[in-house]
Amino acid sequence: MISRTSHLLLIGRAGLHRGRTAIVDSQGSFTYDDLLDASSRVAAVLLAGRETLEEERVAFLVTPAFPWVAVQWGIWRASGVAVPLPLNSPRAELEYFVEDTKASTLVFDALAEALLTPIAAARGMRALSCDQVLAGQAAELPDITSERRAMILYTSGTTSRPKGVVTTHANIAAQVMSLVGAWEWSADDRILLCLPLHHVHGIVNVVSCALWSGATCEMLPRFDANAVWDRIAGGRVTLFMAVPTVYVKLIAAWDQSSPERRAALSQACSKLRLMVSGSAALPVSTLERWKEISGHTLLERYGMTEIGMALSNPVRGERVPGSVGTPLPTVEVQLVGEDGRLVVPGTSGEIEVRGPSVFAEYWGKPDASRDAFRDGWFRTGDTAVVENGMYRILGRTNIDILKTGGHKVSALEIEEALRQHPAITECAVVGIPDPEWGERVAAAVVLKDGDALDLQSLRAWAKELLAPHKLPSRFLVLDELPRNAMGKTMKPAVSALFQAVLGNEPVA
């Protein structure tokens, strides 16, 4: 039955689509009625006779599938705060998330039971399996307002210890509504999920937008290039969203296929109405190669854990490679200088955002929450420039904007140029402290099999594309770049590799 929690916008809308298929996973198909029923049983078990969880944190580690959504919705319907935990995390990281949120309960599937049960036992926490919570009996559920805390997601931790980002039900609804309108979602859509479910990209952009719209979400337990291609080849998927590294792996799998399968996959791709890339910078070379294969110009957008999505290229109209478009509905964006004042048009500045989609607070960190805002605007820490009315991201202000010899340069711009070298498949540019130059430009690269490259040769080649002060003066060849679960390059780890390597002196 639907309890009073149905007035929560996302869950309430499920009642409009009862018999439609909501989720497809390895176990079968599940309707919106199935989801409402299962989540009400989860909520009842979590409540255990109490009237409300009163925003208690419930952490859960469940493989992407129907039970994941049922548990998340069940936590919400019991008035709890959902804390999705990342798959494949070491015990120490999971313990940090559990301790930081002061979670009262852990929910897990069979794959995570051996890892989480000792964590719960050591802290005297309630530990529940998916089977237990899904086997409950429906009960009267509490009334919940949209201002209640709904979820805590952790930042990537690329610049500091991960912080818990708190969003309310109203924040999540605003994030979803802006994307449903801008990306023209409908109940006829069918999207394939191959992203992890501990980030906004998978939780909001894919799953929540689909379920808001009455659409169907096919859920893979993890990314597998051939499995994704098989689902696309099935001909029913209408949308696909992924990170750049996923598209790189899909391209590699396509290249390894037979000519007949390539033709079939490309034809199947052409039938999708929209394909999106985000969570990390999309190399222009990847965008162009994907267009050759699929016929799609990937829609690039910009967002982060704290704000959901803020900028997007259009569904209809020109998509500019390297650009993340314009502000989404209800989102306000401005660029400011170091003094906090608006920059002159055409000048780079830090992105600031405000609107109903912006998060409520960093969990348990009032000072960090206060410092994250300036006059009501959230300070993203990302630098961008507006060119012909479209925003282009230059990188993280403190990581990707290098100060060398009195110049400010974008690491992302240098990376885009270096990727054009015929021997380079991937690269990451960081600034290494230097007493004379402030920072030296340091490039870590991954080479194509069988190729070789040294610093002098790279500089000689790159001088045709980059100004002298942008040329790398330190150089490192890696087997692979250090990345997090969403495919973002971990720049501090790259910097540490440079610091650890001996005999890699900068060029004068």
pLDDT tens-digit series, residues 137-152: 988 999 999 999 999 9
pLDDT at 409: 85
DSSP label of 206: I
Order the strands of the 164-168 sheet from edge to edge.
126-129, 105-108, 57-61, 81-84, 149-154, 164-168, 361-362
pLDDT in tens, 390-435: 999 988 887 888 888 777 788 888 998 999 999 999 999 999 887 7
pLDDT in tens, 221-260: 999 999 999 999 999 999 999 998 899 999 999 999 999 9
Whole-model pTM? 0.86
Residue closest to 437 by CA, chosen among 483, 465, 470: 470
> Given the DSSP bridges, would you call strands 126-129 and 105-108 parallel, antiparallel or unpaired?
parallel
SS (H, E, C) 125-136: CEEEEHHHHHCC
Per the CB < 8 A criterion, the answer to whether 240 and 275 are in contact is yes
Domain 401-500 matching CATH 1.10.3720.10: the answer reads no
Q: Is 450 exposed, middle or buried (0-12, 13-18, 19+ CB in 10 A)?
A: exposed
Per the CB < 8 A criterion, the answer to whether 380 and 307 are in contact is yes
SS3 state at 170:
helix
Looking at 48-147, list the stretches that DSSP marks H as alpha helix, in order from N- to C-terminal side. Answer: 66-77, 91-101, 113-123, 130-134
Which tokens in the block code for residue 33? 């009625």
**Sequence ranges of the domains in the chain:** 28-144, 401-500
Per the CB < 8 A criterion, the answer to whether 466 and 414 are in contact is yes
- Residue 506's pLDDT band (boundaries 50, 70, 90)? very low
> Given the DSSP bridges, would you call strands 57-61 and 105-108 parallel, antiparallel or unpaired?
parallel
DSSP label of 6: G
Query: What proportion of the chain, given as a percentage, has pLDDT over 90?
Result: 79
Average pLDDT over residues 355-378: 96
More confident residue, 19 or 5: 19
Per the CB < 8 A criterion, the answer to whether 358 and 171 are in contact is yes
> Given the DSSP bridges, would you call strands 373-374 and 377-387 parallel, antiparallel or unpaired?
antiparallel
Q: Which residues, 6 or more positions from 235, have their beta carbon under 8 angstroms from its beta carbon?
A: 268, 271
* CA-to-CA dists, residue 238 to 58, 125, 361, angstroms: 33, 42, 35
Sign of CA dihedral 262, 263, 267, 270: positive
Stretch (H or E) spanning 180 = helix 169-182
Per the CB < 8 A criterion, the answer to whether 462 and 417 are in contact is yes
Q: Which residues, 6 or more positions from 354, have their beta carbon under 8 angstroms from its beta carbon?
A: 332, 376, 377, 378
pLDDT in tens, 96-122: 999 999 999 999 999 999 999 999 999
pLDDT in tens, 51-99: 999 999 999 999 999 999 999 999 999 999 999 999 988 888 899 999 9
Say if residue 1's pLDDT is above 80.
no
Range 28-144: architecture per CATH: 3-Layer(aba) Sandwich (3.40)
* CA-to-CA dists, residue 78 to 81, 89, 272, angstroms: 9, 27, 37
- Residue 313's pLDDT band (boundaries 50, 70, 90)? very high
pLDDT in tens, 474-492: 999 999 999 887 778 888 8
Residue closest to 178 by CA, chosen among 153, 202, 208, 144: 208
Average pLDDT of the chain, as a whole number = 92
pLDDT at 6: 44
Token look-up 């391209």 returns 251
- Would you give the distance in Å from CA 10 to the centre of its chain? 20
What angle separates helix 244-255 from helix 284-294, to the nearest 10 degrees? Answer: 50
* CA-to-CA dists, residue 57 to 10, 48, 53, 74, angstroms: 20, 15, 9, 12
> Given the DSSP bridges, would you call strands 274-277 and 149-154 parallel, antiparallel or unpaired?
unpaired
Torsion of CA 182, 486, 55, 206, to 10 degrees: 30
- Residue 3's pLDDT band (boundaries 50, 70, 90)? very low
Q: How many CB atoms lie within 10 A of CB 33?
A: 16
Q: Where are the beta strands (DSSP E) in 305-447?
A: 308-312, 326-327, 332-336, 349-354, 361-362, 373-374, 377-387, 390-396, 401-404, 407-410, 424-434, 438-447
* Radius of gyration over every alpha carbon of the chain, rounded to an integer in angstroms: 23
Cα-Cα end-to-end distance for the chain: 73
- Residue 160's pLDDT band (boundaries 50, 70, 90)? low
Q: How many CB atoms lie within 10 A of CB 490?
A: 17
pLDDT at 507: 44
* CA-to-CA dists, residue 9 to 54, 183, 352, 391, 408, angstroms: 19, 19, 27, 31, 45
CA–CA separation, 165 and 392 (whole Å): 25
